[in-house]
C-alpha cells in the first residue's frame, strides 16, 4: 500500500531531510552543509541561572550582582523592600554606578515600600513611578549591560524568606540589550511614567 506524502509520520521527515542533504552535497559540491546550518537555530550563549526562593536564596544572589556592578543598574520592580538589596543599591550609587529604579505607584501604599524608596531617594537615586492605570509589574534588573534578571520574584523580604518565587539570571547579550532598551524606553516615556518626589 502506498502512503501519500501528506501522511508520512513526523519521524520519517528527518530521514527525508538527511537523504536530500546527501544528494545536494553530491550534486552541489558540499553546499548542503551550509543549507543545513542555516536551518539550525543559533544556540544561546549561556544557560540562565534559575534560582528558587527560599531554598536557593535568590535575594542574596541579587545583592552580590549589585555589589559587583561597575557601570549601571537599571531596575524595574513592582516590590522593593528587602534591606540588603536597598543597602547594595545605595552602595553601588556611592561607587558611581548609574542606578535607576522604576516601580509601581500603587505599591507606594505599602509602608515598607515607601521606606525603601525614601532611602534610595535620599541617597540620590532617581525613581520613577507609573502614571497609567495598569500596574508596573515588570520584575527585571539590567546590570552593566552584561546580565539581566527576570522571574516572579519581587525584591522584598517576603519574597526572600517565605514566598515560592523564581529568579532567572541571564548572561546573554541579546536579551540583556532588549531588557535595557525596554527600561530606557519606559524611563523616557513622560506620558506613562513620572519622577517620584
- pLDDT tens digits for range 7-29: 444 444 444 444 444 444 444 44
Give the pLDDT score at 46: 75
Q: What is the rounded average pLDDT for all residues in the chain?
A: 84
Distances (CA, A) of 7 to 4, 10, 15, 19: 5, 9, 15, 19
Give the pLDDT score at 45: 57
Task: Report pLDDT digits (tens) over 108-160.
Answer: 999 999 999 999 999 999 999 999 999 999 999 999 999 999 999 999 999 99
pTM (predicted TM-score) = 0.77
β-bridge mates for residue 188, sequence order: none
Q: What is the CA radius of gyration of the chain?
A: 24
Proportion of the chain above pLDDT 90, given as a percent: 76
Give the pLDDT score at 11: 45
49-195 maps to which CATH number?
Answer: 3.30.870.10
Which of left, alpha, beta for 98 (phi over 0: left; psi -120 to 50: alpha)? Answer: beta
Amino acid at each position: 500500500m502506498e502512503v501519500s506524502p501528506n501522511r508520512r509520520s513526523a519521524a520519517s521527515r528527518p530521514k527525508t531531510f538527511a537523504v536530500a542533504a546527501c544528494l545536494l552535497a553530491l550534486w552541489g559540491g558540499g553546499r548542503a552543509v551550509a543549507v543545513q546550518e542555516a536551518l539550525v537555530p543559533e544556540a544561546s550563549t549561556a544557560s540562565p541561572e534559575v534560582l528558587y526562593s527560599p531554598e536557593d536564596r535568590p535575594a542574596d544572589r541579587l545583592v552580590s550582582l549589585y555589589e559587583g556592578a561597575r557601570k549601571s543598574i537599571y531596575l524595574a520592580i513592582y516590590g522593593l523592600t528587602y534591606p540588603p538589596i536597598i543597602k547594595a543599591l545605595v552602595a553601588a550609587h556611592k561607587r558611581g554606578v548609574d542606578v535607576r529604579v522604576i516601580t509601581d505607584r500603587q505599591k507606594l501604599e505599602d509602608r515598607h515600600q515607601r521606606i525603601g524608596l525614601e532611602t534610595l531617594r535620599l541617597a540620590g537615586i532617581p525613581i520613577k513611578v507609573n502614571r497609567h492605570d495598569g500596574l508596573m509589574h515588570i520584575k527585571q534588573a539590567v546590570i552593566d549591560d552584561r546580565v539581566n534578571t527576570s522571574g516572579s520574584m519581587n525584591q522584598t523580604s517576603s519574597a526572600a524568606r517565605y514566598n515560592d518565587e523564581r529568579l532567572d539570571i541571564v548572561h546573554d547579550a541579546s536579551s540583556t540589550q532588549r531588557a535595557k532598551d525596554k527600561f530606557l524606553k519606559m524611563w523616557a516615556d513622560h506620558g506613562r511614567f513620572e519622577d517620584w518626589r
